[in-house]
């Protein structure tokens, strides 16, 4: 009977291990896309803050499960598409994006504020950045150009998040007398932080490729 180590070696030689790692990363990204879609539903008024908060708990659990499965895979696999430390760092940055979305939804409910349509441009940019990262991850087994393009697109999307944040803060400051201004400012800072974590994830992939000489 073939033992586990031999099966791992065969998997590495045939590329199955790399495909499995990529599949786990894309599953984590897919869970994070669900998180940004839920935050957008809240911003658009399609769900209440309380409902969004409850549903986000399930999305976060899914993302945590996907990340845990990836970490377990990295601890046993013999080879990885890029250095395992870089894969771990990238996965952690994606997890930080989902954590930021969770906090955005939870704090909206805690502050007693409704969702705000002004958040939609930034959330759309986050979604586009995550989809770009998913395309980049799909290229990890052997398409470094695709990885570079996806990472660059994600960085540009993160830049749009920052610009949307700046515009929303400027509008808020012009309307200081509006109720809930302080809470709204905190939520906008949270949204800006999500964009920074997205940028970190893109940088993690780009740096990993540079280390590999691509």
Q: What is the dihedral of CA 201, 89, 98, 32, to 10 degrees?
A: 70
Buried residues in 79-108 as b, exposed as e (16+ CB within 10 A): ebbbebebbbbbbebbbbbbbbbbbbbbbb
Nearest-5° angle of CA 19, CA 22, CA 25? 155
pLDDT at 173: 81
Identify the structural domains of the chain with CATH numbers, from first to last. Answer: 4-211 (1.20.58.220)
How much is the pTM? 0.88
The pLDDT value given to residue 10: 37
Supply the pLDDT for residue 17.
76
CA distances from 101 to 13, 67, 83, 119, 173 (A): 39, 16, 28, 12, 24
Q: What is the mean pLDDT of each run of 10 residues along the chain (214 residues)?
A: 43 62 94 98 98 98 96 81 88 97 97 94 98 93 86 96 93 71 90 97 89 63
The whole-number pLDDT of residue 16 equals: 66
């Amino acid at each position: 009977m073939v033992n586990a180590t031999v099966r791992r070696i065969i998997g590495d030689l045939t590329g199955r291990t790399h495909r499995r790692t990529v599949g786990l990363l894309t599953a984590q990204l897919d869970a994070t896309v669900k998180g940004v879609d839920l935050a957008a539903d809240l911003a658009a008024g399609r769900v209440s803050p309380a409902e969004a908060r409850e549903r986000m708990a399930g999305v976060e659990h899914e993302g945590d499960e996907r990340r845990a499965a990836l970490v377990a895979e990295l601890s046993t696999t013999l080879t990885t598409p890029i250095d395992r430390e870089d894969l771990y760092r990238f996965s952690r940055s994606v997890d930080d994006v989902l954590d930021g979305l969770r906090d955005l939804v939870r704090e909206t409910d805690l502050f007693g504020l409704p969702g705000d349509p002004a958040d939609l441009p930034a959330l759309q940019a986050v979604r586009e950045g995550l989809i770009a990262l998913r395309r980049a991850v799909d290229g990890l087994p052997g398409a470094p150009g695709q990885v570079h393009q996806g990472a660059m697109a994600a960085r540009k999307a993160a830049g749009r998040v920052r610009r949307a944040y700046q515009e929303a803060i400027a509008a808020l400051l012009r309307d200081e007398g509006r109720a809930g201004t302080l809470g709204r400012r905190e939520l906008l800072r949270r949204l800006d932080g999500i964009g920074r974590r997205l940028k970190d994830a893109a940088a993690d992939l780009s740096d990993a490729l540079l280390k590999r000489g691509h």
